[in-house]
Amino acid sequence: MRIAIAGTGDLAKYFVEELHASSYDVVVLTRTSSSSSSSTSSSKAQPKPWYSARHDAGVISLRSTDYTVPSLVEQLRDCDGLVSAIQDGTPANVVVHLALLEACRQTRSCRRFIPSEYIGDVDRFPTQPLFYPESHQPVRDALAAQQDVVWTLVMPGWLADYVVAPKCRYIRDIGDLCPIAYVYGKGEGTNIDTDTNTNTNTNIHTDGSVGRTGTTISMLIPGTGNEPISCTAARDVARAVAALFKVPYRVPSQFQSSSQPQDQPQQDEDQDHDYSSGCHSAWDPITYIEGQATTWNEVKTLLQSRGHSVRVTYRPVTELEETVAQASLAASGSASVSVSEDDLLSAQFGLWSTSGATRVPRDTVVAQRSRFFPGLAFRTLAQLLDASEAAMASFGDGGGGEGEGPYGAV
């Protein structure tokens, strides 16, 4: 089975590794040229080195597209599914995802599509984060209005990877958008909890087994820190996506390619389904996954218990709401003081956490785990930290920079 990935960012790296590990043929769509001999290659940047290396090793196939529908149809013609890792919080996200959907509809075999969402409980909080309705709701509406392509929105809450050192993950820091940021070379030997101004832990091990000497973690926690959140490791998100593509489904005969009956699992004929039109699958419109239900204060305590120096600042909800309101007034010309895009996004992400929207519904998580992910372990934060600390202890200090995952990208 051949699965295409749209996007070449950090999250897509996990999709590459886990889809390949699950024995899929992996295609990566890129806006760049994969051939230096191309007549237009001189005007295009070359593929990112991480992807080029795996293309050269035969792990993936890089395919260049301009993300118009005809170009996408050509590149998806022999694929059986598509997952998007394009992360864009602007209206441009709608344009590219509608093109991806339409391209799937025009192919004969690429009839399953997982668009880029990866947030929280959209059943109860469809407008969180606040910038999502404009950049994602039109795509959700278009998906629901058609029957030609099977789809699901994968919702993991926060990516748990931010709790581990940057050298142990592909996911890069996103500044104040995430409450956790690693800082090296400060706070050696002492954990300072600035909300109480007390030393909370001085037990830093130097052998790499627990914590790392000289590591300070800065936490900018929205609200009280006691609001419920969900966290799931990016690699576990990718493993879940790989498992979803193994769920049986049926494409109407007029759309089936000649190879599909052999390549694609089909539902039994005697099941009670009407296959007269549209695709049919056991996928739900929304798939919730979760490694751990927690709070930011509990995350703080966990990091302190690992010997990290944790410095905490809390941002009241009123401050976050005021920033969003000020930005709205500035956009309408009613206020003379502007709000930077970074400050606005930080406030919107903060309200996403404080609203409870990042906590995915536990009953649904349990039910879907039984249906779609039997035997798949979703790691807790402690297990993720264990893996990262073991990796650093094995490899020692050094390696590449943030986002390169020199210790194995746990």
- Please report which confidence band the pLDDT of residue 409 belongs to, taking 50, 70 and 90 as the band edges: confident
* Amino acid 259: pLDDT: 41
Q: Are 257 and 385 found together in one domain?
A: no
In a domain, 25, yes or no: yes
- 129 plus 172 within the same structural domain: no
> What is the pLDDT of the chain when averaged over all its residues?
83
State the DSSP H helix or E strand holding residue 387, giving kind and residue range, or none if neither: helix 381-395
Q: Same domain for 220 and 309?
A: yes
222 and 116 part of one domain = no
Instruction: Please report whether residue 136 resides in a domain.
Output: yes
Q: Which two tokens stand for residue 392?
A: 């650093």
Q: Which of 129-138, 187-196, 210-219, 396-405 has the highest mean pLDDT?
A: 129-138
Q: Which residue has the higher pLDDT, 195 or 203?
A: 195
Lowest model confidence (mean pLDDT) among 10-19, 55-64, 112-121, 248-257: 248-257
Per-residue confidence (pLDDT) for residue 58, from 0 to 100: 96
- Looking at the structure, tell me whether residues 38 and 167 fall in a common domain: no
Tokens for 52?
């080029």
What does the pLDDT read at residue 253?
53
What confidence tens digit (pLDDT) does each residue in 108-119 have?
A: 999 999 999 999
Co-location of 202 and 63 in the same domain: no
Nearest to 79 by CA among 90, 95, 92, 63: 63
**Residue 391 pLDDT:** 87
User: What's the pLDDT tens digit per position in 50-76?
Assistant: 999 999 999 999 999 999 999 999 999
Q: Is the pLDDT of residue 282 over 70?
A: yes
Mean pLDDT of 251-275: 41
Per-residue pLDDT reduced to its tens digit, 334-383: 767 789 999 999 999 999 999 999 999 999 999 999 999 999 999 999 99
Quick one: pLDDT at residue 330?
85
Q: What does the pLDDT average to over 89-109?
A: 96
Residues 194 and 307 in one domain: yes
pLDDT higher than threshold 90 for residue 106: yes
**Residue 237 domain flag:** no
Taking each helix axis from N to C end, the angle separating 234-244 and 362-372, rounded to the nearest 10 degrees, works out to 50
In this prediction, residue 209 has a pLDDT band, given cuts at 50, 70 and 90, of: very low
Domain of 105 in residue numbering reads as: 2-151+248-281
| Window from 112-126, 200-214, 284-298, 359-373 with minimum mean pLDDT | 200-214
Q: Which residue has the higher pLDDT, 207 or 173?
A: 173
Q: Are residues 259 and 311 in the same domain?
A: no
Q: What integer is the mean pLDDT of 261-284?
A: 47
φ, ψ dihedrals at 225, nearest 5°: 90, -5
Residues 178 and 318 reside in one and the same domain: yes
Which CATH number does the domain housing residue 256 bear?
3.40.50.720
What pLDDT score was predicted for residue 248? Answer: 87
Average pLDDT over residues 168-188: 81
User: Whose structure tokens read 């597209």?
Assistant: 65
Q: What is the pLDDT of residue 406?
A: 53
CA-CA-CA-CA torsion for 385, 388, 391, 396, nearest 10 degrees? -100
Same domain assignment for residues 7 and 105? yes
Could you tell me the CATH number of the domain that includes residue 320?
A: 3.90.25
Whether 311 is covered by a domain: the verdict is yes
- Answer yes or no: is pLDDT of 196 > 70: no
In a domain, 364, yes or no: no
Token pair of 155 as six digits? 């919702």
Q: Give pLDDT tens digits for 141-166.
A: 999 999 999 999 999 999 999 999 99
Q: What is the mean pLDDT of residues 391-395?
A: 80
In a domain? residue 366: no
pLDDT for 131 equals 94
Question: Does the structure show a pLDDT above 90 at 279?
Answer: no
Q: What pLDDT was estimated at residue 281?
A: 67
Domain count, the chain: 2
Q: Is 18 exposed, middle or buried (0-12, 13-18, 19+ CB in 10 A)?
A: buried
**Does residue 273 sit within a domain?**
yes
> Do 203 and 104 share a structural domain?
no
Dist CA 280 CA 288 (whole Å): 20
> Helix (H, G, I), strand (E, B), or coil: what is residue 18?
helix
Q: Is 44 exposed, middle or buried (0-12, 13-18, 19+ CB in 10 A)?
A: middle
Output the pLDDT for position 348. 97
Instruction: Please tell me the distance from the alpha carbon of residue 158 to that of residue 32, in angstroms, as a whole number.
Output: 30
Question: Do 215 and 76 share a structural domain?
Answer: no
Asked if the structure places residue 374 within a domain, the reply is no
Please compute the mean of the pLDDT values over residues 292-316 and round it to a whole number: 96
Q: What is the pLDDT of residue 397?
A: 52
